[in-house]
Amino acid sequence: MIKTVSTKPYDDQKPGTSGLRKKVPVFQQPNYAENFIQSIFDSLEGFSGQTLVIGGDGRYYNREVIQIAIKMAAANGFGQVLVGRGGILSTPAASHLIRKYGAFGGIILSASHNPGGPTEDFGIKYNVGNGGPAPEKITDAIFARSKVIDSYKIADAADINIDLEGTQTVEGMTVTVVDPVTDYADLMEQLFDFPAIRRMFAGGFRVVFDAMSAVTGPYAKEILENRLGAPKGSVLNFMPLPDFGGHHPDPNLVYARALYDTMMADDAPDFGAASDGDGDRNLIIGRGIFVTPSDSLALLAANAHLAPGYSKGLAGIARSMPTSGAADRVADKLGIGMYETPTGWKFFGNLLDAGKVTICGEESAGTGSDHVREKDGLWAVLLWLNILAVRKESVIDIVRAHWATYGRNYYSRHDYEEVDTDAANGLISALRDRLADLPSKTFGALTVEKADDFAYHDPVDHSVSEHQGIRILFAGGSRIVFRLSGTGTSGATLRVYIERFEPDTSRHDIETQKALADLIAVADEIAGIKGRTGRSAPSVIT
Ligand code: G6P
Ligand code: ZN
């Protein structure tokens, strides 16, 4: 039985940087999830009889929405749904399944690195057939549809057993419950030199991976401990929990503090890493050194050829605009293309599909390659391990050698979370108004060379994305970027990205906040952060 249920539109279903994210109680309003899922289907064409991948990061409300999504897919005419056992699929694993099985697309249930639980965050994201997040053309259509939707279709069927691998049918549609890990782990085994990493572990190299009670636990256990032979116990917090154990599953120096402290101790393991709620972000820490995501992108790009999957070299590199320019220097040296995109992994999709780039990365702890169309936390960890196994040097030595060759891009992001939305918008629009008169102004030793509101012209589909962040570029390569986060769920988050290039090796040892102190002061002077937000300090510094 297929039911058509009448509904009323909600006016707040605009997908952000990465899908629709709201607090769980918002999603629990009558028909809220149903409206959004139907709006997705109504914005697509040609999926009749096709395959849809469904899975999520296991957070609170995951199972409920999975049932709804499966029944709605059946009612709307999909031929098959592939769902991870227990409703679990990491975001990169979902991307891989879409590609591997030629699915029409996928629905990923996650609010990424945001906390989970009855009053915390939930999210729904649609990915297209290349395995990547839907482009703006589709997310705009979904939002437009959500504002006028008046009914949705759903199979009036009993709940599907998603804990049992195998095939079932709902209203003529096949539901196949798959092991969430195997296909993904096999892909990793193709890309990386597992025997070399196994030998490194057997030789006593110590790794610690914090799954943060989120989705990567089962993946990391299988890959690091079972397939690569890392000692049992190398993977911490490996059980995915609906509330992530009450933790904030964001692998940064604030929320993964315990890992950081472990890695800074005298008896630290050789390599520490963590991933986020849905498994697409990564944190990399060597013994005694945190590797910034921007540096990690540059280092991975410079060394990727050491892994079998990238032995032919890279086609090009892409980074989001606020990400530091460290990777640009690598691209320059390799003589390959470098692309600067707006924040949001979806902007890399066209470049990857067109074969223009092989590796992409963002300052927000995302790195990935053309193996899927999402950023991939464990992929970054495994590429690092592969490089370490081949170079047989420590993380700190590899990073220092990299800085000596390319120079160091000191880099930090200051976040002001949950600030008043009007204040945040006011700050950005005041900056916008000053763009024309900033060039050639001096602030202490710093002279503004250029100031703009970043706009991206996609070289593949020629679409234009405007207002992607205010950039203030100083003579000598220093830079301040201001933008508002597109992923928050309450108030506004102001992000201030600060960068300074230091070619002099004798000055590569300065504490980051000190190295950037003059720029940090100038950022406040230019934008009036304290005055406008009423905050005397950022809530998070990464
Ligand atoms: C998600 C997206 C990333 C983005 C990050 C920060 O993880 O997938 O592409 O860089 O959020 O976005 P925001 O808009 O909050 O700065
Ligand atoms: Zn994520």
Average pLDDT (30-38) is 98
Strand partners, 289: 286
Helix H or strand E segment including 186: helix 182-191
Give the CATH number for residue 290: 3.40.120.10
Which ligand 1 atom minimizes the distance to the CA of 343? 10
Average pLDDT of the chain to the nearest whole number:
96
Q: What is the pLDDT at residue 486?
A: 82
Q: Domain end: 406, 431, 449, which one?
A: 406
Q: What is the pLDDT at residue 77?
A: 97
**CA–CA separation, 5 and 177 (whole Å):** 27
Average pLDDT (408-434) is 95
Mind giving me the DSSP string for 496-525? EEEEEEE--GGGS-S-HHHHTHHHHHHHHH
377 lines ligand 1 (CB under 6 A): no
Summarised one tens digit per residue, pLDDT across range 330-364 is: 999 999 999 999 999 989 999 999 999 999 999 99
Q: What is the pLDDT at residue 254?
A: 87
Which residue is it, tokens 């970027």? 481
Summarised one tens digit per residue, pLDDT across range 521-538 is: 999 999 999 999 999 999
User: How far is Cα of residue 110 from the mean position of the Cα atoms in its chain?
Assistant: 11
Q: Domain end: 178, 197, 223, which one?
A: 178
What tokens appear for 409 in the block? 């891009």
Give the CATH number for residue 526: 3.30.310.50
* Whether residues 134 and 222 fall in one domain: no
* Whether residues 101 and 187 fall in one domain: no
412 lines ligand 1 (CB under 6 A): no
- CA distances in angstroms from 58 to 52, 63, 91, 259, listed in the order given: 18, 8, 11, 23
What tokens appear for 478 in the block? 């220093």
- Give the distance (Å) from ligand 1 centre to CA of residue 89: 19
* Whether residues 122 and 229 fall in one domain: no
Work out the pLDDT band at 487, boundaries 50, 70, 90: confident
- Give the distance (Å) from ligand 1 centre to CA of residue 113: 10
The share of the chain scoring above pLDDT 90, in percent, equals 95
- Of 281, 242, 243, 15, give the one whose Cα is nearest residue 123: 15
- Give the distance (Å) from ligand 2 centre to CA of residue 518: 32
φ, ψ dihedrals at 57, nearest 5°? -90, 10
What tokens appear for 313 in the block? 């070299």
* Whether residues 145 and 20 fall in one domain: yes
* Whether residues 173 and 314 fall in one domain: no
- Give the distance (Å) from ligand 2 centre to CA of residue 23: 16
Work out the pLDDT band at 247, boundaries 50, 70, 90: confident
242 lines ligand 1 (CB under 6 A): no
Which listed ligand is nearest to 113 at the C-alpha? 2
* Whether residues 325 and 426 fall in one domain: no
112 lines ligand 1 (CB under 6 A): yes
Identify the weakest region by mean pLDDT among 207-216, 417-426, 480-489: 480-489
- 413 pLDDT above the threshold of 80: yes
Work out the pLDDT band at 243, boundaries 50, 70, 90: very high
Pocket test for ligand 1, best of 17, 90, 346 (most atoms within 8 A of CB): 17
* Whether residues 311 and 457 fall in one domain: no
- Residue of 112, 213, 320, 364 marked catalytic: 112
Question: In this predicted complex, what is the ipTM?
Answer: 0.96
Average pLDDT (297-308) is 98
- 287 pLDDT above the threshold of 70: yes
- 329 pLDDT above the threshold of 70: yes
Average pLDDT (156-184) is 97
Summarised one tens digit per residue, pLDDT across range 121-154 is: 999 999 999 999 998 889 999 999 999 999 999 9
Q: What is the pLDDT at residue 42?
A: 98
* Whether residues 495 and 428 fall in one domain: yes
* Whether residues 151 and 7 fall in one domain: yes
* Whether residues 348 and 475 fall in one domain: no
402-435 burial, b at 16+ Cβ within 10 Å, e below that, comes to bbeebbbbbbbbbbbbebeeebbeebbeebeeee
Q: What is the pLDDT at residue 346?
A: 86
Pocket test for ligand 1, best of 276, 278, 321, 345 (most atoms within 8 A of CB): 345
Q: What is the pLDDT at residue 80?
A: 98
Q: Is 112 designated active site?
A: yes
Q: Domain end: 178, 210, 236, which one?
A: 178
Which ligand 1 atom minimizes the distance to the CA of 488? 15
Q: What is the pLDDT at residue 491?
A: 86
**CA–CA separation, 199 and 124 (whole Å):** 41
Cβ-contact 356, 316 below 8 angstroms: yes
* Whether residues 206 and 282 fall in one domain: yes
**How many structural domains is the chain composed of?**
3
- 252 pLDDT above the threshold of 70: yes
* Whether residues 372 and 428 fall in one domain: no
Average pLDDT (203-215) is 97
499 lines ligand 1 (CB under 6 A): no
What's the domain range around 469? 408-541
Instruction: Give the residue, by CA position, lying nearest to ligand 1 atom 6.
Output: 364
Average pLDDT (184-213) is 98
Summarised one tens digit per residue, pLDDT across range 423-478 is: 999 999 999 999 999 999 999 999 999 999 999 999 999 999 999 999 999 998 89
- 17 pLDDT above the threshold of 80: no
Helix H or strand E segment including 452: strand 446-453
Measure the CA angle with vertex 426, ends 536 and 147; round to 5°: 120
Average pLDDT (12-18) is 89
Q: What is the pLDDT at residue 489?
A: 67
- Give the distance (Å) from ligand 1 centre to CA of residue 300: 20
Q: What is the pLDDT at residue 135?
A: 87
Question: If DSSP codes are grouped into helix, strand and coil, which group holds residue 329?
Answer: helix
